[in-house]
Amino acid sequence: MRVSIKAACAAMLLLPSAAPAQQAPAEDEPRFTVPDSVSPEARAILAPALAAQRQARPQRVNLGTDLLSIRAMAEQGAAERMAAVADRYRVVATPATLDGVPVLRVVPRDAARGKRLLIYVHGGGWATGSARSSFRTAAIFADATKLEVVSVDYGLAPEQDFRGVTGQVAAVYRALLAAGHDASRIGLFGDSAGGNIILGTTLRLRDEGQPLPAALVGLSPCTDLGAEGDTRRTLADADPVLDVPETLEAMRLAYAGEDAAAGMLHPWASPVRGDYRKPFPPTLIQGGTRELLLSDFVRQYQVMRGAGREAMLDLYEGMPHVFMSYLADTPEGRQAIATARDFLLARLAAD
């Protein structure tokens, strides 16, 4: 298994796609390049990571035989990274359980008083990752907003499909309501597959008659388990993260469940297929122009806006998948995080 830009940047997690197979470039031809239009700070991080990636060729990973090793690789060194990140962003992380679901409660040392909080759902292609390996993103948002972040350690595919995962996130949300947190003071955010899950969970909460959260932020969210988006083809050779189509397709099929064909069409699994004529929280969708999933962002924004819902599409020049975390200290990352912070804080009810 090759070392990808994810390993080089220590933050990128896989997400399913259905891009066509890429044609291997010549040995002396770079697979991916950094556009001249990005900031010098972003270039300084992306250029060496991409240079290392050019030396490898994508290999298909069999989820049936390699999944445990993929998960172990994602978790390797997580405890040490958590300690460094907690010190950097001045947060305290405490493991807890809410309605049977494990979570990390991430609290800034200078947290604002009150009952406003955020729920975070991590990425990882639905099949990898954890609240520990994704701790950096939770800490960044806790520090930026000065709010507690409840990071959900949901069950992974194929052991859990979209019904099980959205059920777990919904259970955490309901447990917080039962503990005295008002829905109007709760925001949800998620990256990559986690962006898909927060949208699907909110549709589920609405379908089940639950009060809806105040706002959502999707960071490079996959919104369609299918393959209909234009950029699944046009940017297949431009995305340095989602560049192993066979593996990514296997992940999305695993999340869709036993009846994958039907699962991929279900709004809880493919939120772009939801009915947004009914109430839905204000939603911010962020991403980069180098993303295979760019069409997912655009389609989700358009379906919500077309139904009269409040939605904001916030795109960043030349940025790859889920750049907000591993490029947090670049101009692009700082602007994205500030925009997400302001969006959430403006829509969560005051304490």
Catalytic residue annotation: 192, 291, 321
Q: 28 φ, ψ to 5°?
A: -95, 5
CA 66 to chain centre: 22
CA 192 – CA 219 distance, rounded (Å): 6
- Residues facing residue 96 across a β-bridge: 103
CA 92 – CA 103 distance, rounded (Å): 13
Supply the angle between the helices 162-178 and 193-207 in degrees, to the nearest 10: 70
- Residues facing residue 219 across a β-bridge: 191, 286
Residue type, 180: G
Query: In 130-221, at which residue ranges do the beta strands (DSSP E only) sit?
Result: 148-152, 186-191, 215-219
Rg (alpha carbons) of the chain, rounded to whole number: 19
CA 174 – CA 178 distance, rounded (Å): 6
CA 126 – CA 247 distance, rounded (Å): 12
Biggest distance spanned by C-alpha atoms of the chain = 60
128 and 74 Cβ atoms separated by less than 8 Å: yes
Supply the angle between the helices 63-75 and 245-256 in degrees, to the nearest 10: 100
Residue whose C-alpha is closest to residue 125's, from 2, 22, 213, 246: 246
Helix (H) or strand (E) holding 213: none
21, 45, 347 from 97: Cα distances, Å: 42, 37, 27
